[in-house]
Structures are given as structure tokens and as C-alpha cells.
Amino acid sequence: MTLVIMAAGMGSRFGGLKQIEPVGPNGEFIIDYSVYDAIRAGFTKVIFIIKKENYEIFKETIGKRIEGKIQVEYVFQDIKNVPKCVEIPAERIKPLGTGHAIMCLKGVVNEPFAVINADDFYGKDAYIKAANFLKSNTSDYAMIGYLIGNTLTENGAVKRGYCEQTNGYLTNLIESSVYKDGNKIKVEPLNGKEGFYAKDTDLVSMNMFCFRPDIIDYSNEHFTDFILENKKDLSKCEYLIPDIVFERIRNNEVKVKVIDTNAVWHGVTYKEDKNDLVNSINKLISNGEYPKKI
């Protein structure tokens, strides 16, 4: 089984390459814990999707730490990887989105795979749930759903995909800004619709999906249409995984199973989050979830 880690983002809100920010007691990165949990769950290969200019620093700081533990490959996400009929504005440096990242796996991944963000700490249970799904003989996709109360920070709003489902299958993801409003959780949809309060146990997406390799071909086939539809907004538009997934759902081509996890998300959306993450990892170590040195 393959774990794909999307690590081409700029980390603008955190300031720099937060993927290589030490958070563990021996200088471990979030990615170290992600790979450790994946290996424990049975994953046998990890693929990093990165910017080509970050290859050397990634290989030296992350790759060499884990290459002896699991098969490692690198894929480059290049914003110049677009149809010849369009030209990306010179001022754009941000990657073209998570869907574009999936496109870059063509010719590299031919097996079921899970995909995650590099800068999110997902927790052991999430990888076990993902691995169990990937072992099944189904054509479905899956999304690991987190209890919204387990995904918040005290330091500001975060973006989450608020999950709507029917009979355990995903029907909608409302991309939203989510934050604590006193002792309540406020969800403000980014599409301009009226905000609402959520229950702690409502599910959200943290961009942890399980896919069959057919999504790679599909994303490549439909990328040109996306670019042409957004040619007036090429400085900011993003080709996203949920857009691809829901287009396939609407076309009755796939179903997406929602698999809930009791894992607690941790991340560094804001610089102030780092201390909370470090303290949480130390607590998990004290409880025996992780060794003191990965």
C-alpha cells in the first residue's frame, strides 16, 4: 500500500517550510510521525509530492531519515505542467492545488493509495482505518472523517470540509471557515451561505482520502477543462481533490465511503500552534502512543 504525502505547499500562514519544522523531542517533524504511523498500519511505500526546488532539502532532512524503513519516491508538482494553450501568470508561485498534485502521480502510482497533507498530524487510528479500507476489494473511494471538535486550534479559524453523508457515503463537503465561538463551534461556509453552529461530533474532512488509481487518469483528463474554465483567474484558482471527487459522484462513477476516526488532529496553521503541537506529542509519548525517539 502506498501513502502519498502532498508537500508542495508554501505554508504561507505559518511562514516558510513548516513541513520541516521540528516538533518532536529529538527534532522529529510531523512527517516523521505520519510515516511512522503508516508503517505501523501496513503501508509499504511513501511518495512525496514536492516542488522540484525543494528536492535536496527534503531528501537530506526527511528522505534519508526514513529510506531505510520504507520505500521512498519523489514526484515534482510543477505549475508549468498545464496545457500548451494557457500560460500561468509569472507572479504565481503557489501550486495549482491538490487535484493537480494527484495528476502528477501518473506513471508512478498504479495501486490503491491514501493521500494526506504534509503539515497535518493525523493520528494512529486514521492510518489503521485507511489501511483496512485499502485492503478491501472495492471500487469505492473513502474519506477519513474527523470529529470537528478534534480538529480546532485556539489561535484562529481553520478551513475544513464540513461533511454531509447518506447511509455512510459522502454527499457533500461544505468548504468552510471553522472556529471556536465561546464554547460553541461556528461554521462559516466559504460559498457565502449562512453560517451555523456544529456539534462536536459532526464530521469534517482533513484531506485524508483513499483512492483507486483511476482517479489519476481522471484528474489528468479533466484538468484542461478546469484550466479553460478558469483562464481569467489563473493567478489564484486551484484544482482541488474534492472538485474531482464530487464530479465523479455526480456522474455516478464512484461512491465515497465516510470512515470516522477518533484520532485528534494537530497542526501548525499558525505559528502559535507549534507549542500546542509539541505539548500534545509529549503527552502521546507519555501515554505510550509513540516512542521518545522515532
pLDDT at 61: 85
Q: With pLDDT > 70 as the criterion, what percentage of the chain qualifies?
A: 96
Helices 30-41, 124-134: crossing angle, 10 deg rounding: 40
In the predicted model, is pLDDT for residue 107 greater than 70?
Answer: yes
Q: What is the mean pLDDT of residues 54-71?
A: 89
Q: Based on the number of CB atoms within 10 Å of its own CB, is 111 exposed (0-12), middle (13-18) or buried (19 or more)?
A: exposed
* pLDDT, position 16: 56
Q: What percentage of the chain exceeds 90 in pLDDT?
A: 71
Question: Mean pLDDT over residues 212-231, rounded?
Answer: 90
pLDDT the model gives residue 18: 59
Instruction: Tell me the C-alpha distance between 47 and 60, whole Å.
Output: 15
Q: What is the mean pLDDT of residues 105-130?
A: 95
CB 212 within 8 A of CB 135: no
Q: What are phi and psi of 254, to 5 degrees?
A: -145, 160
Indicate the pLDDT class of residue 14, thresholds 50, 70 and 90.
very low
Q: Which residues contact 24 (CB under 8 A, 6 or more apart)?
A: 32, 33, 278, 281, 294
How large is the average pLDDT for residues 81-110? Answer: 84
Q: Which residue has the higher pLDDT, 259 or 16?
A: 259
Mean pLDDT of the chain: 91
The full set of domains in the chain, from first to last, is 2-146+205-286 (3.90.550.10)
- In this structure, of 21-35, 74-88, 139-153, 272-286, the range with the lowest mean pLDDT score is 74-88
Q: How far apart are CA 214 and CA 220, in angstroms?
A: 10
Q: Cα separations (Å) of 63 from 47, 73, 279, 282?
A: 10, 9, 25, 24
If DSSP codes are grouped into helix, strand and coil, which group holds residue 78? coil
> Which H or E run contains 228?
helix 214-229
Burial of 292 (0-12, 13-18, 19+ CB in 10 A): exposed
Between 17 and 31, residue with greater pLDDT: 31
**207 pLDDT higher than 90:** yes
Alpha-carbon distances of 250 from 170, 172, 193, 203, 229, rounded to whole Å: 11, 10, 21, 21, 19
Helices vs. strands in the chain: H and E counts, helices first: 8, 13
pLDDT band at 96 (very low <50, low <70, confident <90, very high): confident
What is the pLDDT averaged over residues 225-248? 87
